[in-house]
């Protein structure tokens, strides 16, 4: 759903840019409360992973494909404020290095793909985990639903911006119907990827999943074949201290390798069909005034390396470079935010242990 230059007029694009800048500024401040010494490097990894998976366009209908937006995934794994920053870093790297998403439309893209998806997904996720039974499965189910809804919500947000500042005279009702319709299908793919990723992380390190914090189950003992609440004697150290002390290197390493393999190998097999926005734009005539990207001459434009004829090698190397650039930029930003965090205990920095529900 990367909006190119020319879909939205300059005045509205400028207003969206100001709104996006404000959202990023608020997120930078909010991320100080979400990031700690364990999650700061993982946030950079989440951004790189989203970049990699976005290269995997999957077919959703005849002649149409979709890709991960990533707002729900980022918000649930590292927090809503940090999630906005993760998606913003990805969009910035894509726009500057790969000519994907217009530069004048960067504010529109951050607003639609970053802010709207994160706000909608995280609000719905938090509401669901409060009413569902406490446990890992509930977190995964809530992740699925939140991600599913966030994609058509982003499509509706784009339609609203188009209604205000679209450069073509197309009935808004037709655009809304087409955009939401195809992005509901794309949302299913988004939901599967998000739930699978959150489920995988929570299965091995639930303490690293921001959305699972506050869901710690009471300590239980097996007595006579039944689980009963335990009331242990006060210990000199917190019960969860050993979990907090565990290194995140293994998770970071597995995540990085996964991102590199996805971008460097699996991306070659991505669907070549236009994504949902491109298809709707072509069918409805939204793209009549589309402009060439300012970075069209970039050596990495269109996710390939110039002067390398083999598309598999060209695309794979471009993907690896993109993952590397994103993780370096993201980790640098998140470490800087972490260093500015105020001293003192943070209630949301306490890791949690999630009990497997029956």
Tell the burial category of 3 from Cβ atoms under 10 Å away from its Cβ (0-12, 13-18, 19+).
buried
Count of C-beta atoms within a 10 Å radius of residue 227: 11
- The reported pLDDT for the residue numbered 237 is 39
- The reported pLDDT for the residue numbered 3 is 97
For residue 23, is it within any domain? yes
Nearest-5° Cα angle at 334, 119 to 152: 25
What is the domain range of residue 145? Answer: 10-211+248-344
- The reported pLDDT for the residue numbered 326 is 97
Task: Compute φ and ψ for 60, nearest 5 degrees.
Answer: -125, -20
* Direct distance between the N- and C-terminal alpha carbons of the chain, in angstroms, rounded to an integer: 38
How many Å apart are CA 183 and CA 168, to the nearest integer?
21
For residue 142, is it within any domain? yes
For residue 226, is it within any domain? no
Q: What is the DSSP letter of 4?
A: P
CATH code at 179?
A: 1.10.1760.20
C-alpha distances in Å from residue 270, one per residue of 57, 79, 122, 312: 5, 29, 28, 11
- The reported pLDDT for the residue numbered 176 is 97
Q: pTM (2 decimals)?
A: 0.87
Q: Which residues contact 241 (CB under 8 A, 6 or more apart)?
A: none
How many Å apart are CA 139 and CA 301, to the nearest integer?
38
For residue 70, is it within any domain? yes
Count of domains observed in the chain: 1
- The reported pLDDT for the residue numbered 62 is 82
> By C-alpha distance, which of 57, 94, 90 is closest to 273?
57
For residue 229, is it within any domain? no
For residue 175, is it within any domain? yes
Q: What is the DSSP letter of 103?
A: S
Q: Are 248 and 113 in contact (CB under 8 A)?
A: no
For residue 336, is it within any domain? yes
Per-residue pLDDT of the chain (358 residues; tens, 9 = 90+): 999 999 999 999 999 999 999 999 999 999 999 998 888 889 999 999 999 999 999 999 889 999 999 999 999 999 999 999 999 999 999 999 999 999 999 999 999 999 999 999 999 999 999 999 988 899 999 999 999 999 999 999 999 999 999 999 999 999 999 999 999 999 999 999 999 999 999 999 998 999 998 665 544 555 666 655 544 444 443 333 344 446 788 999 999 999 999 999 999 999 999 999 999 999 999 999 999 999 999 999 999 998 899 999 999 999 999 999 999 999 999 999 988 765 544 444 444 444 444 3
Q: Are 1 and 276 in contact (CB under 8 A)?
A: yes
For residue 115, is it within any domain? yes
How many Å apart are CA 322 and CA 168, to the nearest integer?
33
């Amino acid at each position: 759903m990367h909006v190119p230059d020319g879909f939205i007029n300059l005045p509205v694009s400028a207003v969206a840019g100001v709104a996006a800048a404000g959202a990023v500024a608020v997120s930078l401040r909010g991320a100080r409360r979400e990031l700690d010494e364990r999650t700061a490097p993982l946030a950079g990894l989440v951004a790189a992973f989203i970049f990699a998976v976005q290269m995997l366009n999957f077919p959703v209908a005849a002649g149409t494909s979709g890709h991960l937006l990533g707002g729900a995934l980022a918000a649930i794994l590292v927090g809503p404020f940090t999630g906005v920053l993760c998606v913003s870093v990805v969009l910035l790297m894509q726009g500057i290095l790969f000519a994907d998403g217009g530069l004048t439309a960067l504010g529109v893209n951050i607003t639609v793909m970053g802010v709207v998806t994160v706000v909608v997904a995280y609000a719905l996720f938090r509401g669901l985990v409060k009413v569902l039974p406490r446990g890992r499965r509930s977190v995964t189910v809530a992740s699925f639903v939140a991600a599913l809804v966030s994609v058509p919500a982003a499509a509706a947000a784009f339609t609203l911006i188009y209604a205000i500042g679209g450069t073509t005279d197309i009935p808004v009702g037709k655009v809304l119907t087409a955009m939401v319709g195809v992005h509901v299908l794309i949302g299913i793919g988004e939901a599967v990827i998000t739930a699978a990723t959150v489920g995988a992380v929570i299965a091995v390190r639930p303490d690293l999943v921001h959305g699972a914090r506050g869901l710690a189950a009471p300590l239980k003992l097996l007595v006579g074949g039944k689980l009963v609440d335990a009331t242990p004697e006060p210990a000199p150290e917190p019960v969860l201290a050993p979990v907090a002390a565990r290194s995140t290197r293994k998770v970071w390493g597995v995540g990085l390798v996964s991102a590199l393999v996805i971008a460097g190998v699996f991306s070659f097999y991505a669907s070549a069909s236009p994504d949902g926005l491109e298809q709707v734009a072509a069918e409805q005539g939204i793209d009549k005034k589309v402009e060439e990207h300012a970075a069209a001459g970039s050596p990495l434009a269109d996710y390939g390396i110039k002067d390398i004829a083999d598309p598999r090698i060209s695309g794979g190397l471009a993907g690896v470079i993109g993952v590397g650039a994103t993780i370096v930029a993201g980790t640098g930003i998140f470490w800087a935010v972490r260093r500015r965090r105020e001293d003192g205990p943070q209630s949301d920095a306490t890791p949690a242990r999630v009990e497997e529900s029956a």
